[in-house]
Amino acid sequence: MVATSKKSRKEEYISDANLQAKSRNWLSDIRYYSYGIDDWKYVPTSSALIVMDMQKFFLSEESHAFIPASKAIIPNVRDLIASFRNRDLPVIFTRHSLKKNEEPGIMGRWWADVIREDSELSNITNLLTPLDSEIVIRKTRYSAFFGTELEKVLKREKVENIVVTGVMTHLCCETTAREAFMKDFEVFFVVDATATQNEELHLSTLRTLSDGFAVPVTTKEILKEIEEGKT
C-alpha cells in the first residue's frame, strides 16, 4: 500500500491539540450509522490488538508516502500497546512489504509503487518496536488476512474480538476490519488511533464500518475496559 499525492490530497487533519475534540465530533456524526450496536461489549480477555502498518514508509517525513496525520495517533497506539502488554494480551503488528522478486499484483499497477522488504522504510517505526515475542504479520495486500497466518494466530490465541489501530484508515485498516467481521470476529475500530490521508476519507470509513462491520471506539474507552477488567 502506497500513499501518493496523485490519488488523494494529504492533510494534517489531526494533531495532539485537536484529536480528542475531533474524535467526539466523529462519534457524534456516525451515531446514526452505529445505531443498534450499543449492546456489543468489548471483552479484554478475549481480544487482540492489531497495529496496522505503522512503518517508516508512512510515518517518516523523509518518505514520499508520509501521512501527516499519523504523528497524532502514535501516543494512543503506544498507550494501547502498553496496556495490552501489561495484561499479557496479544499484540499483533502488520508490515506491508514485498520480497525482492515478489509481484505486487494489481496494487502495484494501481499505486505505481511498492514497499520492498529490504528497504529501511519498510520497518516498523522505532517508536512502536515489537517485542521479540510478538508476531509481525508480513502482508502484500490491503487485508492483513490475505495470504497470511493471521486468522490461524487469532484462533490459536482464542481471540473473539479485535481492536484495530494504525494506517491507513480507509485502505488496510478498513479492509482488515471488514474481513475480520466476515470471519466472525467482533471488531472494535479505534477512531483516534487510526489515520489516513485526509479527514474526508477517515470519516467515510468510520461511517461505513459503523453501519455494518465494526464498533467505533476511542482509545480511552478501550484502556478503561482493560483497566476495569483486571483481577
pLDDT at res. 74: 98
3-state secondary structure of 124: strand
Nearest alpha carbon to residue 178 among 169, 187, 165? 187
Considering the domain boundaries, does residue 187 fall inside one? Answer: yes
| CA 94/CA 136 separation, integer angstroms | 5
Instruction: Write the CATH number for 103.
Output: 3.40.50.850
Q: Looking at the domain assignment, is residue 10 inside a domain? A: no
Is 3 contained in some domain? Answer: no
| pLDDT at 36 (0 to 100) | 66
What pTM did the predictor assign? 0.93
Q: In a 10 Å sphere around its CB, with 0-12 CB exposed, 13-18 middle and 19+ buried, how is residue 56 labelled?
A: buried
How many domains are there within the chain? 1
Within a domain: 11: no
Domain that holds residue 148: 45-228
Which pLDDT score, from 0 to 100, does residue 231 have?
Answer: 44
Residue 16 lies in a domain: no
- Look at residue 57 and tell me if it is in a domain: yes
Evaluate whether 161 touches 185 at the Cβ level (below 8 Å): yes
Residue 37 lies in a domain: no
DSSP codes, 47-107 = EEEEEE--BHHHH-TTSTT--TTHHHHHHHHHHHHHHHHHTT--EEEEEE-B-TT---THH
Cell of residue 138, nine digits? 508480513
Q: What is the pLDDT of residue 7?
A: 62
In a domain, residue 115? The reply is yes
* Amino acid 104: pLDDT: 85
- Quick check: 178 and 212 in contact, CB under 8 A? no
In this prediction, the residues of the chain whose per-residue pLDDT falls under 50 are: 1-5, 231
